[in-house]
Amino acid sequence: MEFLTIQNNQRVDISSIPVLQYEDFSSFIIDLINDNDNHCVNYYGYQDNNQIKLICCIANDTQHVIYVTSSIVDKNSELNSISKKHLSFEKFEREIHENFGINFIGHPWLKPVRYAFNRADKTKTIANYPFYTIESEELHQVGVGPIHAGVIEPGHFRFICNGEQILHLEIQLGYQHRGIEELFLQKKELIQRATLAENIAGDTVVGHSVAFANAWESLCDYTPSEALQFDRALALEHERIAIHTGDLSAICADIAYQLGNSVLGRLRTPVINYFQQWCGNRLAKSLIRPFKTNFPYNEYLSEKWFEVFDAFLPDFNEICEQIFDLPSALSRLEKTGVVKTEVAAEIGMVGVAARASNFNRDIRFSHPFGYYKNESFNSIMGKNGDVYSRSKIRMDEANQSISFIKEMLKKIPNHEIQEGEIINEPKPNSFVVSLVEGWRGEICHCAITDEKGELKHYKIKDPSFHNWLALALSVRNEGISDFPVCNKSFNLSYCGHDL
CB of 454 to other proteins, least distance (A): 47
Task: Determine, following the binding rule CB under 8 A, whether residue 142 of this chain makes contact with other proteins.
Answer: yes
Give the footprint of other proteins on residues 235-264 (CB under 8 A): 252-259, 261-263
CB of 335 to other proteins, least distance (A): 10
Nearer to other proteins, 262 or 360 (CB): 262
Please identify, among the stretches 109-117, 417-425, 429-437, 474-482, the one whose residues bind other proteins according to the rule CB under 8 A: 474-482
CB of 163 to other proteins, least distance (A): 8
Nearer to other proteins, 333 or 398 (CB): 333
CB of 256 to other proteins, least distance (A): 4
CB of 175 to other proteins, least distance (A): 18
Nearer to other proteins, 31 or 164 (CB): 164
Residues paired with residue 457 on neighbouring β-strands, in sequence order: 448
What is the per-residue burial (b if ≥16 Cβ within 10 Å, else e) of 354-367? bbbbbbebbbbbbb
Give the footprint of other proteins on residues 310-329 (CB under 8 A): 326, 328-329
Nearer to other proteins, 161 or 183 (CB): 161
Q: Please state whether the peptide bond connecting residue 146 to the residue before it is cis, i.e. omega within 30 degrees of 0.
A: yes
Nearer to other proteins, 153 or 254 (CB): 254
CB of 390 to other proteins, least distance (A): 16
Nearer to other proteins, 69 or 336 (CB): 336
CB of 84 to other proteins, least distance (A): 34
Spatial strand order of the sheet with 442-449 comes to 12-13, 430-437, 442-449, 455-461
Give the footprint of other proteins on residues 266-295 (CB under 8 A): 266
Nearer to other proteins, 332 or 364 (CB): 332
Give the footprint of other proteins on residues 144-183 (CB under 8 A): 144, 149-150, 163-164
Nearer to other proteins, 87 or 480 (CB): 480
Residue selected from 27, 141, 277, 358 as contacting other proteins according to rule CB under 8 A: 141
Task: Determine, following the binding rule CB under 8 A, whether residue 140 of this chain makes contact with other proteins.
Answer: yes
Give the footprint of other proteins on residues 331-350 (CB under 8 A): 331-332, 336
Nearer to other proteins, 334 or 450 (CB): 334
Residues paired with residue 48 on neighbouring β-strands, in sequence order: 51
Nearer to other proteins, 262 or 286 (CB): 262
CB of 324 to other proteins, least distance (A): 12
CB of 395 to other proteins, least distance (A): 16
Q: How many residues bind other proteins (CB under 8 A)?
A: 33
- How far is CA 338 from each of CA 18, 256, 358, 473, rounded to the nearest angstrom? 40, 21, 12, 9
Give the residues lining the site for other proteins (CB under 8 A): 140-144, 149-150, 163-164, 252-259, 261-263, 266, 326, 328-329, 331-332, 336, 479-484
